[in-house]
Structure formats: structure tokens, C-alpha cells
Amino acid sequence: MNFTYPKSEKLKSKKTIDLLFSKGKSVSKYPLRLVYVESDYGIPEDSEQKIKMGVSVSKKYFKHAVDRNYFKRVLRETYRLNKQILLDALDKRYAIMFFYQSKDRLSYPEIETKTIQLFEKFVKAITEEENK
């Protein structure tokens, strides 16, 4: 298993982020939300890369940058440790954005549990979409 979060996996393209917010679909597991869109943009054809992922924590809920940065680190870490759930289930390439949407300060184990549940919900939504 590859528990890394390399630079090539980070969502940085403005076009892709705009596409996420205009045409993206989402799944939620309070307080997390995952917005996704099928996208080959920014992912080389010969690459085995299936995911481009970004994180966001709202300034509305956490006024201090130190708090936002803490939750972004936690989200990236939970993604890094549990991304195998996504990689095993995905056939196509996706751009995803991971949001923390609450002023509640959950502990790391709670966030990790919610992340796993969210990823499973995402995989279920994708498989239902493909079966239509």
C-alpha cells in the first residue's frame, strides 16, 4: 500500500476547481463534504493517477489561520491513510475537494471515522452513477 500524498495528487488547477464548483456533485457526512467531478484535466494519460484532491476549511467557522491549517492537516492525513478505499473502487479519474463544514472541533479519531464513512458513501454514489 502506498500511504503518500505526492505533489502530483494535489488539486491546484484553477480550471478544475472552477469545474468542481460549477458541475460537481457532492456527498456529505457531517461535518465533512466531498465535492467531485470526473476529470482528466491535469492528469497525464500515461499516469496511474486516479485522483486530484484538495482540502478546504471555511474562514466563516475558524477565524484564525492556525485553526484552519490544523483541520486542513488533519483532512489531508485522513485522506492519505484511507485513500486506498477510493483507489480500489475507482475506474475513472476524479477531481475531488474535501471540506470541513462546521465550527464543531472534532477530535482526530472522530474525523478519521467520518472520512472513512464519507469515502464509502462516495464509492457507493459512483457505482450507482455508473450502473445507470
Query: What is the arithmetic mean of pLDDT over 77-99?
Result: 92
Q: Is residue 75 part of a domain?
A: yes
- Peptide bond just before 109 cis, omega within 30 deg: no
Which pTM value belongs to this model?
Answer: 0.90
* Burial (Cβ within 10 Å: 0-12, 13-18, ≥19) of residue 56: middle
Q: Is residue 42 part of a domain?
A: yes
Q: What is the mean pLDDT of the chain?
A: 90
**Residue 80 has what pLDDT?**
94
Residue 129 — very low, low, confident or very high, per pLDDT cuts 50/70/90?
confident
Residue 132 — very low, low, confident or very high, per pLDDT cuts 50/70/90?
confident
Q: What kind and span of H or E run contains 128?
A: helix 108-131
Name 16's bridge partners: none
Share of the chain above pLDDT 70, in %: 93
Q: Is residue 132 part of a domain?
A: no
Q: What is the pLDDT of residues 39-64, one digit of tens each?
A: 876 555 556 678 999 999 999 999 99
**Residue 43 has what pLDDT?**
57
Q: What is the pLDDT of residues 99-118, one digit of tens each?
A: 999 999 999 999 999 999 99
Q: Is residue 37 part of a domain?
A: yes
Q: Is residue 1 part of a domain?
A: no
Domain count, the chain: 1
Grid coordinates representing 60 are 466563516
Quick one: angle between helices 108-131 and 65-82, nearest 10? 60
Q: Is residue 104 part of a domain?
A: yes
Query: What is the arithmetic mean of pLDDT over 57-79?
Result: 96
> 24-39: buried (b, 16+ CB within 10 Å) or exposed (e) per residue?
beebebebbbbbbbeb
Q: Is residue 58 part of a domain?
A: yes
User: Checking DSSP bridges between strand 51-57 and strand 94-100, what pairing results, if any?
Assistant: parallel
Q: What is the CATH number of the domain that holds 113?
A: 3.30.230.10
Domain membership of residue 92 as a residue range? 7-125
